[in-house]
Amino acid sequence: MIADLHIHTRYSHDSFMDPARVVRVARMRGLSAIAVTDHNTIRGGLLAREANPGGDFEVIVGAEIRTEYGDVLGLFLDREIAARRFDDVVEEIHAQGGLAVLAHPYRRYPSPERLAGRVDLIEGFNSRSRRQANALSMRFGRASGKGTVGGSDAHTYAEIGRGVTIYAGSEIEKALRAGQTAGEGRESNYYVVHGLSCGIERLKRLVPGRG
């Protein structure tokens, strides 16, 4: 089974994507599950879950929280994460019964190795990271003994499914909690996709309410 566990919608400051359309595109591309992980909010994930017709497709409500060390993905959330300090964010995620993922560890974290013991999973592949950073992340995930996951970090529809998590069985939560997952995919052009996100962010600031 294949899931994309890192997707943004218009509830992030740098994306215009509609949550319902994200679900349709992901299903069309043959994914079995997605996690909507908007910056510092679960609003997009809640709307995507509402738009999901169910059946053989699952929407995981999540968020990407910025901390003093870098970004943490919270998966299986039902309430907003109020904290912004790393340890407090992880504690809040766990208090909801969620899973904490060290996102793209070699993009922002100064020394991610010392944080591995505090989270549940490592994002081994992120399609918006450079190839070398992904190779380091995959090696780090294996060395830490944690399960690795993959995600596109999509901010546009074209990116959905470029980074994925491979898992066995029909229950993704069970596979994630057992650490029986692997991340893989295709890197996007780093400068193009990040430049596009910066442009979207500036446009949203210029035109309040757009998106």
pLDDT for res 193: 86
pLDDT for res 208: 66
State how far the Cα of 14 lies from the Cα of 39, in Å rounded to an integer.
9
Give 203's pLDDT tier (boundaries 50, 70, 90): confident
Give Dmax (Cα) for the chain.
46
Q: Which domain holds residue 137?
A: 2-206
State in Å, rounded, how far the first CA of the chain is from the last one: 32
**pLDDT, averaged across the chain:** 94
Give 211's pLDDT tier (boundaries 50, 70, 90): low
Nearby residues of 84 by Cβ (< 8 Å), 6 or more positions away:
65, 66, 67, 68
State how far the Cα of 117 lies from the Cα of 119, in Å rounded to an integer.
6
Nearby residues of 189 by Cβ (< 8 Å), 6 or more positions away:
none
Q: Domain count of the chain? A: 1
Q: What value does the mean pLDDT take over residues 153-168?
A: 97
- The CATH number given to whatever domain includes residue 35 is 3.20.20.140
Q: Is residue 174 part of a domain?
A: yes
Based on its alpha-carbon atoms, the radius of gyration of the chain, rounded to whole angstroms, reads 15
State how far the Cα of 184 lies from the Cα of 163, in Å rounded to an integer.
6
Q: Is residue 77 part of a domain?
A: yes
State how far the Cα of 153 lies from the Cα of 156, in Å rounded to an integer.
9
Give 184's pLDDT tier (boundaries 50, 70, 90): very high
pLDDT 10s digits, 1-26: 999 999 999 999 999 999 999 999 99
pLDDT for res 196: 85
Give 209's pLDDT tier (boundaries 50, 70, 90): low
Tell me which amino acid residue 162 is. R
Q: Is residue 211 part of a domain?
A: no
pLDDT 10s digits, 105-120: 998 777 898 999 999 9
Does residue 154 sit in helix, strand or coil?
A: strand
